[in-house]
Amino acid sequence: MLLDYHCHSHCSDGELSPEQLIQLAEQNDVEVLAITDHDTIGAYKKLPDTHIKIVSGIEFSTCWNKIGVHIVGLNIDLHSKELLKAINLQQKARKYRAEIISKKLEKVGLIGAYEKLNHKKHIGRPDFAKLLVEADICKNQQHAFKQYLGAGKIGDVKNEWLSFEEVIAVINHAGGVAVLAHPLYYKLTNAKLNRLVSYFVVAGGQAIEVINGYQNLDKTKYLAKLAGFHKLKSSIGSDFHYKEGWSKLGVNSNLVENLLTFSHQEY
């Protein structure tokens, strides 16, 4: 069975529209799909009819111990007042952060970046990287991050996200399941990762991503063991953004045990 509990549309930083995402999922024989755009549920206003089972989802940005962390919410009530308030706060924080990044990048010659991006509902560092390349300030987006947008660089602006505990509480109040996204992405030592997961459990988290896109079997086994140790459910997803990217929609559920299961919920 092919499942995907983590992917993105152009409502945040993905390439495809929600309709195109569903079409691609159908082509790939995906049977269960959650669209988890960053700090928005806009995709669920535009979904076409499909035989695929749709699980409502979102991916929140937050921080733990001064480290940027993402938490996916699955099977959430899209009409939850707490959820809608949290989304509004996150989007305001994202907008303010984009304005600050734009002002900082003026010092390296990128003028009027925010004005060029203000039409977008979701503005992130990749958008600024693209502008740096178009302005011939950087040779490619990798260079833009290395020189100006990566950790400790001029465009590395920390955001005032909802707290780690607040994000998990919002997901739980919306009747959903809080999932720690891509645990290996944060490049923590084994001890620190275990502390993060322990804290996540105490705060009300219920699952971790055991598979996020393409990864080797050793990493999957490690994360499955981590989930088991902390008595958490497992989630799997492609983290799909682009058709020409590093992942494709759909993950084989036979690769892991103790998977999340959801009853049907109208979105």
Q: What is the pLDDT of residues 69-128, one digit of tens each?
A: 999 999 999 999 999 999 999 999 999 999 999 999 999 999 999 999 988 878 888 899
pLDDT tens-digit map of 134-179: 999 999 999 999 999 988 899 999 888 999 999 999 999 999 999 9
Rounded Cα distance, 65 and 165, in Å: 12
Instruction: Please indicate, yes or no, if residue 71 is contained in any of the structural domains.
Output: no
Residue 263, C-beta contacts closer than 8 angstroms, at least 6 positions apart: none
Range of the domain at 142: 94-149
Instruction: Please indicate, yes or no, if residue 231 is contained in any of the structural domains.
Output: no
Instruction: Please indicate, yes or no, if residue 119 is contained in any of the structural domains.
Output: yes
Instruction: Please indicate, yes or no, if residue 29 is contained in any of the structural domains.
Output: no
Question: pLDDT-based confidence at 266, cuts 50/70/90?
Answer: low
What pLDDT score was predicted for residue 119?
84
**For the chain, how many structural domains are there in total?**
1
What pLDDT score was predicted for residue 246?
74
CA dihedral over 230, 265, 220, 169, signed as positive or negative: negative
Instruction: Please indicate, yes or no, if residue 126 is contained in any of the structural domains.
Output: yes
Instruction: Please indicate, yes or no, if residue 143 is contained in any of the structural domains.
Output: yes
120 to each of 11, 13, 114, 150, 216, how far by Cα in Å? 9, 10, 10, 22, 35
Instruction: Please indicate, yes or no, if residue 137 is contained in any of the structural domains.
Output: yes
Query: Over pLDDT 70: what percentage of the chain?
Result: 99
Instruction: Please indicate, yes or no, if residue 116 is contained in any of the structural domains.
Output: yes
If DSSP codes are grouped into helix, strand and coil, which group holds residue 123?
Answer: coil
Read off the tokens for 23. 């079409």
Question: pLDDT-based confidence at 267, cuts 50/70/90?
Answer: low
